[in-house]
A and B are shown apart, each in its own frame.
Chain A
């Protein structure tokens, strides 16, 4: 959940810019994701010093350096674990985790699943380009069967992960998919994800214009279809969400698949945090507690 500033319209897009400009390839989908995240923070008016953007390693994981928030550019696959520790130590902070499909679903797959079942209160944005980019084009956990890459030159023979179904199965309480070329729609999903009390998973199609010649803007454009345009779709219905998540082909749904707000967040479920963020707690153990710890041993 986000802590908003009192004075509205204080933050502008200019306040969101990091110390350096992105070094992504021209046309990279990640530009659109960066812009949408920045726009969402401006619209939500969250003070930038209360936001921490945390990433792993990969093209998209350079993200924190392009933001004007506190940032952590951690290890390959470990962003969610680092973010969990940080959030538990100071749950007043708004935590954004950003990264790619290899980082999140490959090397970081274990943390991905467990962060969702724990309902850690953060927004996890995966820039899913279905390829390894920074290592110059190898198969990723979301690469389609048959896709030819440098690591599978005769075509991928392994079935890809379905991130949406996986997130639903693992117990994520907010599950959505965006498309970096759909700016307004994506910004709205990011805002909702930040405001959602619990684990928000946002898988974003973010085409790699250099290494993925299968899943291009031209390929996505006619296929993506917004769930929000279907007035009958109920995003609180888990089974319906699971069913929708299986759609892949001529029609690929984007939008909010699922949300529920009745599950306590990890930090909300732990009484140790009743007195506020850990980082503000007194360092010393209360004297009577310390005395009782020693008494037990006598």
Chain B
């Protein structure tokens, strides 16, 4: 990775950590810089401790990185938690009147702000934040107009007086830093690029809109609620029916009802809500009505740690709903991929008339990333499969009684008529049924027909497998170590490989996106050349390692796992790889040094 710069802003919930974060993010993106932001927060509305990391640079910033260059603690607690982790070259800007610095490492620049001398703190409650932004900006080598522009936008609605006051306070901070603090040696560069800054939740919501989702409903649950918020705010412009409903059982069933009527329908939740949805997923598979369901994982089990990240729901997804049925499960690899994956999985779900499950996690859902606008394609390929609508597409029969909703075909796909189409009247049922939909569960049980129908549905699996691409190896074909990950760990593993390669340990990466169907043979083909394979997962039991073994018999040489609620940082993986190469252990569980 090229040069990066990381800012850490810490404070209590309600103290205004988000606003400086947003302001820095805007300034960086308008400078044509990439950024990655991750907010470590707690399930508390006021108080507690929140720590926002914004890391920026001219190249792609794939993860939160290893260190903080500029620390802005908004209270004593944040100072106490984070100052000790700063290393030489870093700086800490703080309110000298309310916060006492703890011991800092040698080479760390302490930058106390005499807040009440620089601003009228009786009028402006967040003056310390604005002063710190101004001071920080100067130290990063960015001209003041960039900040003024953002502040003007930020406070425009509150009138010219508020704008002028905030610009004035920021300026005072900027000038004070110029006179008293040492600037960072490398000013932040500037490029001609422009990026969109978005969270994974916003990306998935927008991806849904791009895919043609017309119905979205949800029950609020962290960390998936951001999808609902975007959908609700943009529903009318995007032409989407958005509902907040009584519970996740209602959510999945309404989603299926809407999908059955013929629209693309989607919903999102976290593990607890997903548990309530699982019976509904079986219905989607049985009546062959496609829906897309997103699970934004958080640290479980049960209520767990609602504001922390984990990859602990894989087996829940694999086992969701009883019985055998075809479905597809994919885990987005980064925030840009959160957008791209939705239209893709809709096409697979629509073609094969089965549920499509997206396994995201808090790290992507609530993290933010700079994404090239061309990646946010609102005109993606749309394949609705064999759908019979009133417009007549794919219509095959004319009179009621001739149409077989569950016609037995070689592909297992039966042309799907939606309610309202003349001549195609039929009843779909969650009971096992014959080709025309009549039940074979009650009066007409029939082992031959049951077998035929089961085989018809399950034949779709082969088609799905052919429809989704196998994974590919990233990095050199042959390496000392192959790191295997899935979903959201792509970025951090990528940087860990880079660091290892720079340190003379050649490393490559196999990142899995399509979990079901899993291209087992392709994976084995890639791994057969691996000298040492290490699985990296954000969970306790190595859920993907166990899944990969069950599908392929492949057992990796080592494991790196983390289940403390916080995401991996690159050095966690680098150090774990080194200890495993030295033969010290086959299972590394890195300690998260930051107390958040």
Contacts and interface: CB of A to CB of B under 8 A. Distances in A.
Interface of A: 18-20, 23, 47-50, 52-54, 57, 62, 64-65, 67-75, 78, 81-90, 92-93, 110-111, 113-114, 270-273, 275, 278-287, 289-290, 292-294, 297-298
Given A272-B242, A279-B263, 8 more contacts: A19-B427, A70-B427, A72-B257, A85-B217, A275-B239, A278-B261, A283-B212, A285-B210
Contacts of B526: none
Most chain B CB inside 10 Å of its own CB: which residue of A23, A57, A62, A113: A62
Interface in B411-426: 418-426
Contact of A86 (B242, B258, B422): B258
B238 A289 contact: yes
A185 to B, nearest CB: 28
B253 A49 contact: no
The 10 closest A-B pairs by CB, nearest first: A85-B257, A71-B427, A85-B254, A283-B212, A81-B253, A89-B261, A290-B378, A73-B429, A297-B196, A85-B258
B265 A85 contact: yes
Most buried by A among B239, B262, B400, B423: B239
A292 B243 CA distance: 23
A75 B444 CA distance: 20
A68 B400 contact: yes
B164 interface: no
Interface string B205-220: 0100110101101000
17 contacts: A62-B439, A64-B427, A71-B428, A72-B427, A78-B280, A82-B257, A86-B260, A89-B265, A272-B235, A272-B239, A278-B241, A279-B420, A281-B239, A293-B238, A293-B376, A298-B29, A298-B194
Contacts of B196: 294, 297-298
A292 B259 CA distance: 27
Contacts of A294: 196, 373, 376
Contact of A278 (B263, B283, B376): B263
Q: Which of B255, B257, B382 has most A Cβ within 10 Å?
A: B257
Interface in B192-229: 194-198, 202, 206, 209-210, 212, 214-215, 217
A64 B196 CA distance: 49
B350 to A, nearest CB: 11
B439 A89 contact: no
Contacts of B426: 70-71
A280 B419 CA distance: 12
A49 B195 CA distance: 49
Contacts of A20: 438, 443-444
B239 A285 contact: yes
B247 interface: yes
A278 B212 CA distance: 11
Interface of B: 29-30, 194-198, 202, 206, 209-210, 212, 214-215, 217, 234-243, 245-247, 249-250, 253-265, 279-280, 283, 287, 373, 376, 378-379, 382, 389-390, 400-401, 418-431, 436-439, 442-444
Nearest to B444: A20
Contact of B261 (A86, A113, A270, A290): A86
Contacts of A290: 209-210, 378
A56 to B, nearest CB: 9
B442 A272 contact: no
A282 B238 CA distance: 11
A215 B381 CA distance: 59
A88 B287 contact: no
Main secondary structure of the interface of B (DSSP, over half): mixed
A284 B287 contact: no
A279 B209 contact: no
A270 B254 contact: no
A243 to B, nearest CB: 29
Contacts of A82: 253-254, 256-257, 260
Contacts of B238: 285, 289, 293
Contacts of A48: 400, 425
A72 B279 contact: no
Contacts of B210: 285, 290
Given A89-B262, A297-B198, A278 B214 contact: yes
A117 B302 CA distance: 30
B30 to A, nearest CB: 8
A65 B241 contact: no
B11 to A, nearest CB: 25
Contacts of B280: 75, 78
Nearest to A81: B253
A85 B427 contact: no
Contacts of A279: 214, 261-263, 389, 418, 420
Contacts of A270: 241
A57 B242 CA distance: 28
Contacts of B376: 293-294
Contacts of B423: 49
Contact of A271 (B234, B236, B442): B236
Contacts of A72: 257, 260, 287, 427-429
A83 B253 CA distance: 8
Contacts of A286: 237, 239
A164 to B, nearest CB: 21
B378 A284 contact: yes
Q: Considering residues B195, B242, B437, which has the most beta carbons from chain A within 10 angstroms of its beta carbon?
A: B437
B203 to A, nearest CB: 10
Among B210, B239, B253, B427, max chain A CB count under 10 A is at B427
A287 B210 CA distance: 10
Contacts of A283: 212, 214, 264, 382
A81 B254 contact: yes
Contacts of B29: 298
A270 B237 CA distance: 13
Nearest to B237: A289
Contacts of A85: 215, 217, 253-261, 265
A75 B279 contact: yes
Contact of B439 (A65, A81, A84): A65
A226 B150 CA distance: 70
A203 B235 CA distance: 36
A214 to B, nearest CB: 26
Max count, chain B CB within 10 A of own CB: residue among A86, A282, A287: A86
A73 B263 contact: no
A4 to B, nearest CB: 15
B333 to A, nearest CB: 20
Given A85-B261, A283-B212, A78 B253 contact: yes
Given A85-B254, A114-B246, A279-B418, A73 B378 contact: no
Contacts of A287: 378
Contacts of A289: 234, 237-238
B256 A89 contact: no
Contacts of A47: 422
A286 B400 CA distance: 37
Taking each of B250, B262, B418, which has the highest tally of chain A beta carbons within 10 Å of its own beta carbon? B250
A114 B250 contact: yes
